[in-house]
A and B are shown apart, each in its own frame.
Chain A
Amino acid sequence: MAATLTSKRLSVRDEADAIEMAYDKGWSDGLPVVPPTEARVRTMLEGARLEANHQVGIIRDRAVVISAEKVAINAVMAGCKPEYFPVVVAAVEAIADHRFNYHGPGTSTGGAGVLMIVNGPIARRLDINAGDNLFGPGWRSNLTIGRAVRLVMRNVCGSRPGLLDRGTLGHPGKLSYVIAENEAESPWTPLHVERGFRPEQSAVTVIASDAPHQFYNQLSNTAEGVLTTAADDMRISGNVMGQSTYVVVLAGEHMRTIAAAGWDKKRIRQFLFDKTHNSYVHLKRTGRMSGDLAAGDETRMRPLTELENILVVAAGGRAGAFSCYIPGWGSAKNSAAVTKEIK
């Protein structure tokens, strides 16, 4: 017997009226929503075989309990198909994990989005885009799964822009920020396997993140060449004092160039770590580090981040000499990348 739905019910004339009511009540991210009727919400819950009263997570600092019912209502509003719902639930479990430290990135002036990287068979089954226009428009699963998570943050966890979401700039990824790893074409160990899961499991990794920073290298046909460009861009990125997580997304051409040299993710990570140290003199001269210049500052170096906080992902279109890196929010000590199995 399915559990009773306990959310407050509101009467509306029709679907158009419901869409307007969502705007009036501040439930929308700015785009029209699918009206969350009981039938639609129940079908959504069935998509993950969850009872309405199942507790998906607790945000302790906000004293908020997130029920499957509320997640399902927001997933309906976002336009998710019921088969997407297990991904949404796993991502919400991940942002409620204490290592993610929700209240920090969910509130901060730093304006983080929640980057969600989907791995495993479910990514192919749900057609989660791992190719052309990776972060861009066109894929229902990418757009609606991330939108559902953001609506949960807004409506359930209280992260409303201007109130408990104080992002100075925010970024477009705060509407939706979902990608899959291109496991079909990648020569490398998938991200979720590196993080302790089996290849046949499906998982989602969440990272509180800035927008993607694209870099371009059409000249090099060596791994060192491509990654030297990446490192040069990364080491002057916004979070150079933050020691945050960095996601490095290598698209088709760069992936093939680097793989042809026989480099695995571990070697890529080590190369980027070694090449992204900044000297104290550079950090002080560019206003990033306090204090007067001191003897030895030319050679005193600070790493951009810690080795294990560089996550390498194969994704993006086959054509074009572009890849990107994504700085995480704050520091990895304040908000860590969290991976959860999609059940």
Chain B
Amino acid sequence: MEILDPTTEAVTQTIAWAARPTSLQGKRVALIDNTKFNSDNLLVRIGNILKQEHGVAECRMFRKHNASVPAHPEIVAEMEQWADLVVAGIGD
């Protein structure tokens, strides 16, 4: 007998990765605050380390609407214009 596969079959797609910077010197870094408690404090610390120890020129915080949704198009567009790098992925 035959049975049918209940899962989503992955469709192959190509993702164009942005080129990785070879150095952080003089770069502008966007920090995505996902609104979880203390995530902003953690990101400020990360930003300071990037500036003090890695020569990053400037860090700026971008705040999502809430933790369980993707970053909204307005801040994505702004980050695209302004930033060389983005720090995302704060969890619990």
A interface residues (Cβ-Cβ under 8 A, vs B) = 5, 7-15, 18, 21, 25, 27, 35-38, 41, 61, 64, 69-70, 73-74, 77, 101, 103-105, 108-109, 151, 155-158, 290, 330-331, 333-335
Contact B3 A21 (CB under 8 A): yes
Give min CB distance, B14 to chain A, whole Å.
14
- Given known contacts A109-B92, A155-B8, A290-B37, is B3 in contact with A104 (CB within 8 Å)? no
Q: Are B70 and A61 in contact (CB under 8 A)?
A: yes
Instruction: Give 1 or 0 for each of B1-40: 1 = CB within 8 Å of chain A CB.
Output: 1111111110000000000000000000000000001000
> Looking across the interface, which residue of chain A has its beta carbon closest to that of B68?
A104
For B66, list chain A residues within 8 Å (CB).
331, 333-334
Instruction: Report Cα–Cα, A328/B66, bound state, in Å.
Output: 16
- What distance in Å separates the Cβ of A240 from its nearest Cβ neighbour in chain B? 15
B69 interface residue per 8 A CB criterion: yes
Task: Give chain A nearest CB distance to B42 CB in angstroms.
Answer: 15
Are B4's CB and A8's CB within 8 A? yes
Cβ-based interface call for B67 (8 A): yes
Once A103-B68, A108-B68, A334-B66 are accepted as A-B contacts, the answer to whether A10 and B8 lie under 8 Å apart by CB is no
CB-CB under 8 A from A74, the residues of chain B are 6
Q: Determine which residue in B5, B66, B92 has the highest number of CB atoms from chain A within 10 A of its CB, and name it.
A: B5
Partner of B5, one of A10, A13, A104, A158: A10
Picked from B1, B68, B70, B92, the residue with its CB within 8 Å of the CB of A14 is B1
Alpha-carbon gap, A70 to B67, bound state (A): 30
Shortest Cβ-Cβ A-B pairs, 9 listed: A104-B68, A8-B5, A7-B4, A73-B6, A155-B6, A155-B7, A334-B68, A9-B2, A7-B5
Q: How far apart sit A104 and B69, CA to CA, in the bound complex (Å)?
A: 7
> Which residue on A lies nearest to B7, using beta carbons?
A155
Compute the total of residue contacts between A and B using a CB distance below 8 Å. 83
Q: How far is the CA of A232 from the CA of B2 in the complex (A)?
A: 55
Known contacts A8-B5, A38-B2, A334-B67; 20 additional CB pairs below 8 A are A7-B5, A7-B6, A10-B3, A11-B1, A12-B3, A13-B1, A15-B1, A25-B7, A36-B4, A36-B6, A37-B3, A70-B6, A70-B8, A73-B6, A103-B69, A155-B6, A156-B8, A157-B8, A158-B8, A331-B66
Picked from B1, B37, B69, B92, the residue with its CB within 8 Å of the CB of A18 is B1
Most buried by A among B7, B66, B68, B92: B68
**A residues in contact with B8, CB < 8 Å:** 64, 70, 155-158
What are 15 A-B pairs at a CB distance below 8 A?
A5-B4, A9-B2, A11-B1, A13-B1, A14-B1, A15-B1, A36-B6, A37-B1, A37-B2, A61-B70, A105-B68, A155-B7, A290-B37, A333-B66, A334-B68
Q: Count of B residues near A, CB < 8 Å?
A: 16
Q: Could you say which of B1, B2, B3, B37 has the most chain A C-beta atoms within 10 Å of its C-beta?
A: B3
B3 — which chain A residues lie within 8 A by C-beta?
A: 9-10, 12, 18, 21, 35-37
User: For residue A156, which residues in chain B have a CB less than 8 angstroms away from its CB?
Assistant: 6-8
Nearest B residue (CB) for A290: B37
By beta carbon, the residue of chain A nearest B5 is A8
A284 to chain B, nearest CB (A): 14
> Given the complex, which residues of A lie within 8 Å of B6, measured CB to CB?
7, 27, 36, 70, 73-74, 77, 151, 155-156
Least CB distance, B33 to chain A, in whole angstroms: 16
- Complex interface bits, B45-87 against A, C-beta within 8 A gives 1, otherwise 0: 0000000000000000000001111100000000000000000
Complex alpha-carbon distance, A12 and B5, angstroms: 12
CB distance from B34 to the nearest CB of A (A): 12
Contacts of B37 in A (CB 8 A): 290
Q: How far is the CB of B49 from chain A (nearest CB, A)?
A: 24
Q: Which residue of A lies closest to B2 (CB)?
A: A9
Q: How far is the CB of A129 from chain B (nearest CB, A)?
A: 26
Enumerate chain A residues within 8 angstroms of B7, measured Cβ to Cβ.
Answer: 25, 27, 70, 155-156
